[in-house]
Structure 1
Amino acid sequence: MDHRALIAAIPAQTKEQLQQRTDRAGLRHLTLYVALLGASTAGIAVQVPLWPMLLIPQGLLLVFLFTLSHECTHKTPFKSGWINEAAGHLVSVPIILPFTWFRYFHLAHHKWTNHPGNDPELAGKPRPEDWTSLLLYLSGWPYWLGMVKTLLRNARGRIDAPYLPARQHGAIRTEARILLGLYALAIFSLFFTPILFWLWILPVLICQPALRLYLLAEHGLCPPVANMLENSRTTFTNRMIRFLAWNMPYHAEHHAFPNVPFHQLPALHNWTQTHLKSTSNGYTEFTKDYARSLNS
């Protein structure tokens, strides 16, 4: 059974319940997330005893803001549209991910998931196939370089990707210019105080491999087929990672039915679990499997 047949088989009332969005669930999750980030930020800022140990939780909380930005592109974490838009734009700043641009990039990824020629996540290139390319990928360098190039290109109005609608070109250009201005101010501030280096730059550099590995598991080693229950991986993991990633380890479920908000994905999993084709029992298992697939 492919994802279309599975979703069609779910009773209409259940599908309606699965798609119910609520500000309460999203704001509760976000409040706890921000509280944890605020605590680690304060600890580093005032240099509490053993404060360098806070760089890892700080970095993890920052880099995994990607998953909230991702969810906001679908307008599902909150019922109120303006909260989705505000959260999406705000959390994209520390991870250098222009939100308006990313929304259409990501929707194209959903349309062409794992298609070698059309999925913009692949951009015509395979995922890491040897140890050298894997280590480079995990470093985050290709991501940072790619996003700087994207911002500069968008800021100049060179917006030509087929998945970016012409009606949004002006917004994408303005967004890029605002972000470049903010990053220029951040770099300038380093001449006067190193606070952003410790609170932002160093933590996201340290923890980028964790996010890259998590993202690699979403579709890595999955076949280039149309069935979302096969071209996307659900990874069975612990509550901490599911919290950080806004339940996105249920990734096959998300691709099969992207209108389902994060807090309903465990319920959707009850319908998909016997039909999933690509799964891993944790990220350690996936990493071992991926390592075995690499060319020497």
Structure 2
Amino acid sequence: MTMDAVGHGKIETRALTPAQLKDLSVRANLPGLIRSISHYALITLVGTLIWQVATRYGVVWTTPLVIIQGYLIAFLFMAVHEAAHKTVFTSRRLNEILGHVSSLMIVLPYEHYALFHWDHHRFTQDPDRDPELVTATIPSSDTRLAIAYTGIVQLTNRIRLLVRRALTGQAVAPWIPESRQGMVVREARIYALVYLALLIASIAFSSTMLLWCWLIPLYVGQLFLRPYLYAEHTGCERTRSAYENTRTTYTDRLTKWFTWNMPFHVEHHAYPSVPFHALPKLNTIIDERIAHRGQGYRAVTRETWRWFRRARQDGI
């Protein structure tokens, strides 16, 4: 999510030499394989525990596990994001497989997201062209702001958009070239058919497993994902400089693991060709140039909340 009120047009000079950038941009299969397997293995483990506890003791006792599962599933967004950059694996096909599987899990069609995200990188913090700003509004009250931070509205809108595209055959948006609209519609229809098949199977087997192990956790997980996404750009300058229009948040190792190192977000925007596993090393090189440095997500969430309230009062 990107939002801010300040605007000027300074463009940064390169902090890396071409040799450094080439070295950092080397793609490798092992880091992506380890990250992907560990993320999905935990989802499978926790999902199995949820189902066992639910069938033996009742769904109420699954609450802590559902919260954990929600966190894990929601942050598959990071796998989709990295796969959209084609930097998880050396193979384009493997990136696309990971991207589509993860996109199905979070109801965010992969090819559509890649187009959306491409324009976000091209026009970061441009209120007229950055898709994250074009599709966003400043919540008009503290109640609406609190609801926005749950992420429930955003996820529900994603589902509605997918269904609408599948039914109408239309996919029109500034970031979708006319030549790709058919592809986006086909993707939405394929995803919708997969979800329909899962629904039919659940009804046929009289099973609520997907509800408790996947769908409810997906919604719960937005409580973690949305504040994280707001931290990326909210309150940063509207400038072309990635060192000023983006925030890096310094956080614990566990968070960095399941967010695929994307708290190093200035680093990612400044050099999007650098794979997730090389971002910590990149941070050691450009750290001093970063204008917005968050010290943990609790502090940054308080900061972004205050920014939204000021923006509402100032009529931004």
Question: TM class, shorter-chain normalised?
Answer: over 0.9
Assess if the C-alpha contact under 8 Å between 2:248 and 2:293 holds in 1: yes
Q: Which residue of 2 aligns with 1:178?
A: 190
> Residue by residue, what CA displacement relative to the aligned partner does 1:103-131 show, whole Å, maximum 9, x if unpaired?
00000111111111111112254444642
Q: Which residue of 1 aligns with 2:7?
A: none
Q: Which runs of 5+ in 1 are unaligned?
A: none
Assess if the C-alpha contact under 8 Å between 1:41 and 1:199 holds in 2: yes
> Residue by residue, what CA displacement relative to the aligned partner does 1:162-201 show, whole Å, maximum 9, x if unpaired?
3212332222111101111222333445542111111011
Among residues 103, 106, 129, which one is paired with 1:95 in the alignment? 106
Cα deviation for residue 239 of structure 1 reads: 0.6
Secondary structure of 1:6's counterpart equals: coil
Matched residue type, 2:34: R
Q: Which residue of 2 aligns with 1:258?
A: 272
Assess if the C-alpha contact under 8 Å between 2:26 and 2:275 holds in 1: yes
Bigger shift: 146-155 or 166-175?
146-155
Please list every run of at least 4 consecutive aligned residues from structure 1 whose deviation after the TM superposition is greater than 3 angstroms: 48-52, 124-130, 185-191
Return closer, same or farther for 1:63/1:125 CA change in 2, 3 Å cut-off: closer
Q: How does 1:144-159 map to 2 (within 5 A)?
A: 144-155=155-166, 156-159=168-171
Among residues 222, 226, 229, which one is paired with 2:236 in the alignment? 222
Q: Which runs of 5+ in 2 are unaligned?
A: 1-9
Q: Which residue of 2 aligns with 1:160?
A: 172
Identity of aligned residues (%): 33
Write the distance in 2 (CA, Å) between the matches of 1:16 and 1:128.
42
Secondary structure of 1:279's counterpart equals: strand
Write the distance in 2 (CA, Å) between the matches of 1:127 and 1:274.
31
Write the distance in 2 (CA, Å) between the matches of 1:57 and 1:141.
17
Among residues 240, 250, 255, which one is paired with 1:236 in the alignment? 250
Alignment of 1:72 with 2:83, yes or no, is yes
Write the distance in 2 (CA, Å) between the matches of 1:234 and 1:119.
19
Assess if the C-alpha contact under 8 Å between 1:73 and 1:103 holds in 2: yes
Among residues 46, 57, 64, which one is paired with 1:40 in the alignment? 46
Return closer, same or farther for 1:46/1:186 CA change in 2, 3 Å cut-off: same
Write the distance in 2 (CA, Å) between the matches of 1:271 and 1:117.
32
Assess if the C-alpha contact under 8 Å between 2:11 and 2:240 holds in 1: no
Q: Which residue of 2 aligns with 1:85?
A: 96
Cα deviation for residue 3 of structure 1 reads: 6.5
Superposition TM-score, scaled by structure 1 size: 0.92
Return closer, same or farther for 1:273/1:71 CA change in 2, 3 Å cut-off: same
Alignment of 1:111 with 2:117, yes or no, is no
> Residue by residue, what CA displacement relative to the aligned partner does 1:193-224 show, whole Å, maximum 9, x if unpaired?
11111101111122211100000000111121
Aligned pairs, number: 294
Write the distance in 1 (CA, Å) between the matches of 2:105 and 2:154.
14
Write the distance in 2 (CA, Å) between the matches of 1:203 and 1:162.
32
Matched residue type, 1:74: H
Write the distance in 2 (CA, Å) between the matches of 1:244 and 1:258.
19
Q: Which residue of 2 aligns with 1:271?
A: 285
Q: Which residue of 1 aligns with 2:145?
A: 134
Bigger shift: 44-53 or 189-198?
44-53
Cα deviation for residue 39 of structure 1 reads: 1.2
Write the distance in 2 (CA, Å) between the matches of 1:41 and 1:149.
26
Write the distance in 2 (CA, Å) between the matches of 1:157 and 1:290.
37
Return closer, same or farther for 1:292/1:143 CA change in 2, 3 Å cut-off: closer
Assess if the C-alpha contact under 8 Å between 1:114 and 1:224 holds in 2: yes
Secondary structure of 2:133's counterpart equals: coil
Write the distance in 2 (CA, Å) between the matches of 1:248 and 1:70.
9
Alignment of 1:6 with 2:6, yes or no, is no
Superposition TM-score, scaled by structure 2 size: 0.87
Matched residue type, 1:160: V
Alignment of 1:247 with 2:261, yes or no, is yes
